[in-house]
Amino acid sequence: QVQLVESGGGSVQTGESLTLSCAASGRTSSTDAMGWFRQAPGKEREFVAVISSSWSGGITYYADSVKGRFAIFRDYAKNTVYLQMNSLKPEDAAVYYCNRGNWRDRLKGMDYWGKGTLVTVSS
């Protein structure tokens, strides 16, 4: 099994930045993609961003709602993925979940999930 542990959530004001991290451990595969989803109260879980394995070139893909504001990157040696969030808006407030698995499932949710880290944005 794979374990994912998020960190870095917190409370910020509109326009500020925050960076989340997620460390993977256990039976990880070097071919796995890693990404982020988020879920706000009363709303469905939504895809945020994903990055592929080093073998496939670290390809990134973003939801339209965060494109140009967020950046996803990995430290492959540390088996860690990051989400740098800039120009945060109130609508970005949510629990952010780390996700890992096959690139094929990147938009619907890959096999492994973290427990989430809370991000709040006040105006």
- Written as six digits, the tokens of 48 are 């945020």
The residue among 123, 92, 122, 115 whose CA lies nearest residue 11 is 122
Average pLDDT over residues 45-71: 98
pLDDT of residue 123: 87
- Written as six digits, the tokens of 63 are 């939801």
C-alpha distances out from residue 28 to 22, 33, 43, 104, Å? 13, 10, 30, 16
| Interval 69-119: pLDDT, tens | 999 999 999 999 999 999 999 999 999 999 999 999 999 999 999 999 999
User: For residue 18, what are the contacts with CB-CB under 8 A and spacing of at least 6?
Assistant: 8, 9, 10, 12, 85, 88, 119
Alpha-carbon distance of 58 to 54, in angstroms, equals: 5
